[in-house]
Every structure is written in structure tokens, then in C-alpha cells.
């Protein structure tokens, strides 16, 4: 499926990028995010300096699970929590499987979460509730392993980027871990942009649901081209751009050749943050599309900024 291809492409990018500034990866790669099973600790040696758990449940739904890697020597209660992409209807936490072990030597816990997909019964509100529930269980799981988590970077890709930004800007008071900064890669930061829902490149690749149908589930308002203006207030309510005045320090990364989420949308988000006095760094990928597949220098810059934000805000 196309979303899965994008997820794998971005994951490969991030493996290369993060290994530039963090120590070499150890342990094993995570499996696909939709696997089932109970909590399982990886035991590849007697002298491991991390604890790794797969498929930790934070709710009753099969999708309410996360993977986590916890350093035994925690760096000041720091955690990075990533949210996968897939147009809110596909993908899984396995998207970040190759990144899971890149942070523990720096004393940073890393978690990758699944969430319930958009449907008649699951709107953006429910997805945000999943983030809260996941963060609560992540904190409890770390505490059970002798780690007190205090500060979080919340990040994501594409739809996951939108979810991360929206939560950090509008719902962080609900978070059991202080969300200090945010990372949005190819993020859907302005949900009111008509190009997202009509004529989007993804529509031709979807067999059942179109982008506008997914958006209607997310914002709780049915719309098409004829009444799109009526949908704007509902879409605005789930747009990170709408909460720029309440944002946390943010890293944005976007490809100029993105034909799924227009580059201008990211620029709009950056401008709104800076106009509101919010620290924001924008990493431009001039030759990349949605999966940030090119621009090695941009990958290095993105990696450097993530490292700097972790040091500045999480430790």
C-alpha cells in the first residue's frame, strides 16, 4: 500500500540521519507496528544497559500499543515519543523500528506509539485521547523500570506530525509528561487547506476511502467541494496552525517537492510560530518530496537540531 511505502522510505531516511549524531545502534530492529503479543523484554546479553519492551498495551483496542526502549542510566527524565504517519488510517509504530536504539546511550527513553484509526467512531478527539493514554502508560512503564520521565519531545511524520503538533499545542495540559518541544516532519499543519482533501495525490491510490472522507471523520463534519467553506471552522479546530500562539519550541522539516502536503503549508506554520515568538527551526529539503528522500545536508541539519533540542529542553 502506498502509505506503507512512504512509511518505510521515511524510516530509512531517519535511520541514516539519526546515526550521524547518536552512537551506533544496538539491539534488534522492531517488527511491524501491527503485530500482536504481550510485553516482551529483549534479552540479547547479560550486560544490557537498556530495557526494551514491545507491544505494551495502553488501552483495550488492538491498536493501542507502543514499543519502548529505556536506558538504565536515564538522562534527566528525557523521552522522545514518535507518532507514525499513514493518513490517519494506515501505518504502524514499526515505522520507527530502526530508530529505537539510537538514543539510550544518550540517556533518552524512546517510544513509538500506535493509535486508533479515523472512522465513524474515531475522530481527532479520540486520537488525541490515545496520545494522552499512551503517555500515561509510557510514564508508568518507565517508573516500573526505575526511570522517572519528566520531559518529552513529541514528534511525528505526515499525519503523525499533525497529531504531534496539535497535541503539543492544544492538549499538552492533559499530558502526564511535560511536552517541552515538538518535531513535525512533512506535517499536516493546516487542515483547512483545500488541496489536502480534493485532488490530493493519495486519492488516486486509495481503493475505498478518499481524503475528504477521512477528514470528515476527523473533524466530525461531512463535506464535499460544494460545502467546503462550511467545513473550515471544524477543520480549523484540528489544525496546529490554529494554536500557534500556544505552541512549544518546534522543529519543522518539509520537502519542496511534496505533492501530498504542499510545502507552503509548512512555511505557513513556521511563519505563524515565529510571529508569535515561538522558537522554531525549519529544515528545508529542496529536492525532496513527502518522504524526505533526498538532500543529505538537510538530513544532517535536521539531526543536529534534534540533538540540540534534546539537550536544551529534555535534560
- pLDDT, one tens digit per residue, over 34-76 is 333 344 444 433 467 899 999 999 999 999 999 999 998 876 8
- For the cut 90, the answer to whether the pLDDT of residue 314 exceeds it is yes
Sorting pLDDT into bands at 50, 70 and 90, what band is 207? low
- For the cut 80, the answer to whether the pLDDT of residue 26 exceeds it is no
pLDDT for residue 18: 36
- For the cut 60, the answer to whether the pLDDT of residue 218 exceeds it is yes
pLDDT for residue 139: 97
> Are 69 and 50 contacting, i.e. CB atoms less than 8 angstroms apart?
yes
User: Model pTM?
Assistant: 0.87
pLDDT for residue 134: 98
Rg over CA atoms, the chain: 18
pLDDT for residue 41: 46
Sorting pLDDT into bands at 50, 70 and 90, what band is 252? very high
pLDDT for residue 62: 97
Q: How far is CA 4 from CA 11, 31, 76, 111, in A?
A: 10, 14, 35, 20
Average confidence score pLDDT of the chain: 87
Residue 257 or residue 45, greater confidence: 257
Share of the chain above pLDDT 70, in %: 84
Report, as an integer, the average pLDDT of 124-140: 98
Lowest mean pLDDT among 90-99, 123-132, 277-286, 296-305: 90-99
**Highest-scoring range by mean pLDDT, 66-75, 208-217, 279-288:** 279-288
Report, as an integer, the average pLDDT of 216-245: 98
- For the cut 90, the answer to whether the pLDDT of residue 276 exceeds it is yes
Amino acid at each position: 500500500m502506498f502509505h506503507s511505502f512512504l512509511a518505510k522510505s521515511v524510516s530509512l531516511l531517519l535511520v541514516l540521519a539519526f546515526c550521524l549524531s547518536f552512537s551506533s545502534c544496538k539491539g534488534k530492529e522492531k517488527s511491524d507496528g501491527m503485530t500482536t503479543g504481550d510485553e516482551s523484554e529483549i534479552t540479547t546479553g547479560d550486560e544490557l544497559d537498556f530495557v526494551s519492551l514491545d507491544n505494551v498495551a495502553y488501552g483495550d483496542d488492538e491498536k493501542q500499543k507502543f514499543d519502548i526502549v529505556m536506558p538504565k542510566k536515564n538522562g534527566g527524565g528525557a523521552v522522545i515519543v514518535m507518532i507514525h504517519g499513514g493518513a490517519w488510517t494506515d501505518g504502524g509504530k514499526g515505522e520507527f523500528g530502526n530508530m529505537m536504539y539510537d538514543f539510550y546511550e544518550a540517556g533518552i527513553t524512546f517510544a513509538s506509539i500506535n493509535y486508533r484509526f479515523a472512522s465513524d467512531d474515531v475522530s481527532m478527539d479520540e486520537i488525541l485521547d490515545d496520545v494522552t493514554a499512551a503517555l500515561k502508560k509510557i510514564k508508568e512503564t518507565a517508573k516500573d523500570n526505575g526511570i522517572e520521565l519528566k520531559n518529552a519531545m513529541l514528534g511525528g511524520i505526515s499525519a503523525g506530525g499533525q497529531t504531534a503538533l496539535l497535541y503539543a499545542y492544544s492538549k499538552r495540559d492533559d499530558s502526564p509528561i511535560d511536552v517541552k518541544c515538538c518535531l513535525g516532519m512533512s506535517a499536516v499543519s493546516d487542515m483547512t487547506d483545500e488541496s489536502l482533501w480534493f485532488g490530493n495525490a493519495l486519492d488516486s491510490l486509495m481503493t475505498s476511502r478518499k481524503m475528504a472522507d477521512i477528514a470528515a471523520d476527523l473533524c466530525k463534519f461531512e463535506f464535499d467541494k460544494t460545502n467546503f467553506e462550511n467545513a473550515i471552522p471544524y477543520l480549523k479546530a484540528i489544525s496546529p496552525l490554529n494554536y500557534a500562539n500556544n505552541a512549544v519550541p518546534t522543529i519543522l522539516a518539509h520537502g519542496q517537492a511534496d505533492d501530498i502536503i504542499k510545502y507552503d503549508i509548512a512555511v505557513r506554520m513556521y511563519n505563524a510560530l515565529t510571529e508569535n515568538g515561538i522558537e522554531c527551526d525549519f529544515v528545508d529539503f529542496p529536492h525532496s518530496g513527502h518522504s524526505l528522500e533526498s538532500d543529505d545536508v538537510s538530513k544532517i541539519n535536521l539531526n543536529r537540531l534534534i540533538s540540540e533540542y534534546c539537550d536544551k529542553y529534555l535534560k
